[in-house]
Amino acid sequence: MSLVVTDTLEDERVEFTADGDVTLYVCGLTVSDDPHLGHARLWFHADVLHRWLEHVGYDVRHVENVTDVNEKITARVGERDDWAAERDVAETFTASVFDSMRGLNLKRAEVYPRVTEHVPEIVDLVETLVERGYAYESNGSVYFDVTRFEEYGKLSNQDLENLEAQGEPDERSEKRNPADFALWKADGVSETAAREHAKHDHGAETPDGETWESPWSEGRPGWHVECSAMSTTHLGDTLDIHMGGRDLVFPHHENEIAQSEAATGEAFARHWLHVGLLEMDGEKMSSSIGNFWTVPDALEELGVNVIRTFYAGAAYRSEQALTEETIAEAEERWERLSRTYDRAVEALDSTDARAKAADGDLRDAVEAARDDFAAAMNDDLNLREATAALLDLTDAVNRHVDAVNADGASDGDANSESAYDYRGLREAVEAFEALGGDVLGLQFESPSEGDVDLAGELVELVLDVREAEREAGNYERADELRDALRDVGVEIEDGPDGATYRFE
Q: What is the maximum span of the chain, computed from C-alpha positions, in angstroms?
A: 90
Judge contact between 4 and 15, C-beta under 8 A.
yes
Task: State the pLDDT at residue 165.
Answer: 78
Q: What is the mean pLDDT of residues 407-422?
A: 65
Examine the pLDDT at 413 and tell me if it is beyond 60: no
Q: Is the pLDDT assigned to residue 479 strictly greater than 90?
A: no
From 105, 114, 76, select the one nearest 287 (Cα to Cα).
76
Give me the percent of the chain exceeding a pLDDT of 70: 94
Is the pLDDT confidence value at 314 over 80?
A: yes
Mean pLDDT of 174-189: 93
pLDDT of 96-135, one tens digit each?
999 999 999 999 999 999 999 999 999 999 999 999 999 9
Cis peptide before 296 (omega within 30 of 0): no
The answer, yes or no, to whether residue 409 has pLDDT greater than 70, is no
Q: What is the mean pLDDT of residues 233-240?
A: 97
Residue 354's pLDDT band, with cuts at 50, 70 and 90, is very high
The three-state DSSP-derived secondary structure of 224-264 is HHHHHHHHHHHHCCCEEEEEEEHHHHHHHHHHHHHHHHHHH
Q: What is the mean pLDDT of residues 303-320?
A: 97
Predicted pLDDT of residue 450: 45
Question: Of 276 and 282, which is predicted with more confidence?
Answer: 276
Give mean pLDDT, residues 308-325.
Answer: 97
**CB within 8 A of 34, min separation 6: which ones?**
93, 96, 100, 294, 295, 296
Sign of the CA dihedral with 497 first, then 498, 503, and 504 last: positive
pLDDT for position 415: 46
Angle value at C-alpha 79, between 207 and 196, nearest 5 degrees? 55
CA 369 to chain centre: 26
The whole-number pLDDT of residue 446 equals: 66
pLDDT band, residue 453 (cuts 50/70/90): low
Predicted local distance difference test score (pLDDT) of residue 115: 98
Separation CA 104–CA 28 (nearest Å): 16
pLDDT band at residue 18 using 50, 70 and 90 as cut-offs: confident
Q: What is this structure's pTM? A: 0.86
At 383, the pLDDT band (50, 70, 90 cuts) reads very high
CA distance 314 to 338: 20
